Structure 1
Amino acid sequence: MTRPFTYLSLFSGIGGLDLGLDRAGMTCVGQVELDDLNRSVLDRHWPEVPKHDDVRTAVPWWTARPRPAVRLVAGGYPCQPFARSGRRRGTADERWGWPWFRAVVRAVRPDYVLVENVAALLDDADAFGWMLGDLAADGFDADWTVLPACAVGAPHTRERLFLVAYPSGELRQARLAKERRQGGQGPLRPAGDGQHAWRRPDVWVEAARRPDRVVDGLAAELVAAGGNAVVPQVAEHVGRLILAHAGWTPAVDEPAAA
């Protein structure tokens, strides 16, 4: 049987990125999420996956006991330091999360790294250059692109930056699109059956139900959590590209996640 293509999820939110990677055929072996409500959603959908509450202490948590090998570390650190609607303090913002992300990468030594964030991160040369420099120092090359949700059939644009890092010196390139581009300019055709995927009944991550739900309390939090989530269909597309680059396919008796 083919060994599972494992990933460790950081800044997991309610699992939009994780759901897409699972659908691509990967297996989640750990999730790190600070928000209690978000973790309750993760517990509902990934009950067997070990969870931790703070990426800043994720390394000692992960290394404290035997763990499976990790092929991919994936996540989207906070976007507020770069979002055009915020103050855009960049690396001076206390929520600048790449150093925490990198510490986990250095500890688990994956084959691949997947970073998701707002497209505006590309406008911050200091932050983006910092990240690329760290990845190069750790033995990775990287490709990146801005992917809109409408490329896989969503009824909205929702552009997001996706960066894939892979071992330096690889002959095969982990291209996310035909061109590497630093913006959302130009059309991007939907991949595969993306249009139909939006009509599937299992598209959305179901929110955890709690008896104390109120309109201006928990419901608002759930809306905010959903708004921050990665569109699963986009994550699935990127996940399949990573698997293709790795030359990994599930065994006949090991079907990809539905």
Structure 2
Amino acid sequence: MRSIYKTPDELRMMLPAGELTAEALDAVGEAIRPGISTLELDAIAERTIREGGGEPNFQLVEGYSHTVCASVNDAIVHGIPDAAPLAAGDVVSIDCGAQLHGWNGDSARTWIVPGEPDREDAQAWLAEARRVSDATRASMWAGIAAVASARHLNEIGTAIEHETESHEGPLGILENYTGHGIGRSMHEEPTVFNYRVRRRGPVVKPGLAICIEPMLTGGGAETVTDDDEWTVRSADGSLAAHWEHTVIRHRDGIWVTTAADGGAEGLARFGVVPVPPGE
């Protein structure tokens, strides 16, 4: 059985793939506006990855032909890009990954399309969209911060759920969809739960490379899957968000490979200073 832990050299070799993944999401974020389609955003992400010498790793998943998953409003995860134009106020979660030199990065961000929604409850809609996305992002960073001090993997899920519970209003944590290990493949062991579990899980120690990706709804945790057999939606129609980063634990600390600053801004609140892996 292959070890879930990487060598110091392998961790360093993962950095370029993470950086390229971040560049692709940066390009997507710059392009998001009313009228653009998620299919156009998909093309932007693919072009960025290929121009950077990489390959979209989502296209290596059997049965999937796109570079990103694009989930809009009540869609939580695994949404398929299409030609429908986005509207002001739409909540758009883009999940993207790049493979470069045989190593992988994986990350997701949620945006609210700029502008005033064309609906009577526009301000309430925007407030709810921000609430759900901000809570999801904060929960992700709480989980990442836990990697710096956790002894076992279940402490990460505990940190994520604890942070989620600290936010006002209903929030549903998806339980059938989790984070994962990453390296030569985009999806590897171990499973990284986004909620408290009894079993302690693997030891968190240098060599661990994982993706932490809470997915929250503004209501219940129950989901339904579209007829396309990919798109997962909130069963109650509540808005949803998805945030994800690739994080490595090495001998000197932690580093977020899919954040331009290694995670410094997001981790500051928790008193954790990311350190790039040394030679």
Shorter-chain TM-score category?
A: under 0.3
Greater percentage in helix: 1
Superposition TM-score, scaled by structure 1 size: 0.25
Relative contact order: is structure 1 or structure 2 higher (C-alpha 8 Å, sep ≥ 6)? 1
